[in-house]
Amino acid sequence: MVVVVMGVSGSGKSSFGQALASALDWDFLEGDDMHPSSNVEKMRVGIALDDDDRRPWLDHIAAWISSEAHQGRHGVVTCSALKRAYRDRLRQTGATVRFVYLRVERSELEHRMRQRSHFMPAALLDSQLQALEEPESGEAALTVSGDRTVDEMMSEVRHWLQQSDIRSTR
């Protein structure tokens, strides 16, 4: 199984994803590290990515997920996975993929983005929120309030994964 921790920039994907992978003793991949340098540069100067920009990035993440599955390993990866089509791409890997969507209020996202050092400027938050298609029922996704403590989120996600694993083996 691979868990994709998803959400817009500033939602806490990296922090929570690392904590989840550590707690489960699973492999971890920071999805931002898979962006081609051209994507990073576009974002750094305030240009929003489009579907064509995201395609090779999603392909790199999908390849990692596929590799985890073929090696019989579990993993956690961070990826904004803003659109259903992006999530569908990540599901086409041969792995059991689950999504944990960190939902955070806009004002908190802005605050977090202004407090950190990252190539994604707060000015691009609007473009991410406009592109966001929140997961729907039937997508093997759990929506978690990203305003809660890591321990609270961890408890909810671990319980859901246990239930999800039971359902996927029936």
Determine phi and psi for 56, rounding to 5 degrees. -65, -30
pLDDT > 90? residue 93: yes
Q: What is the CATH number of domain 2-168?
A: 3.40.50.300
Question: Distance of alpha carbon 58 from its chain centroid, rounded?
Answer: 11
Per-residue pLDDT reduced to its tens digit, 103-126:
998 888 877 667 755 555 556 778
Distance CA 138, CA 75 (A): 21
Q: Helix 150-168 vs helix 13-24: angle between axes, to the nearest 10 degrees?
A: 60
Q: What H or E segment, with its residue span, contains residue 78?
A: strand 75-78
Instruction: Write down the pLDDT at residue 108.
Output: 81
pLDDT of 94 strictly over 70:
yes
pLDDT at 53 over 50: yes
H helices of 37-81, where?
Answer: 37-44, 51-70
Q: What is the pTM of this model?
A: 0.88
Per-residue pLDDT reduced to its tens digit, 2-51: 999 999 888 889 999 999 999 999 999 999 889 888 888 887 777 878 88
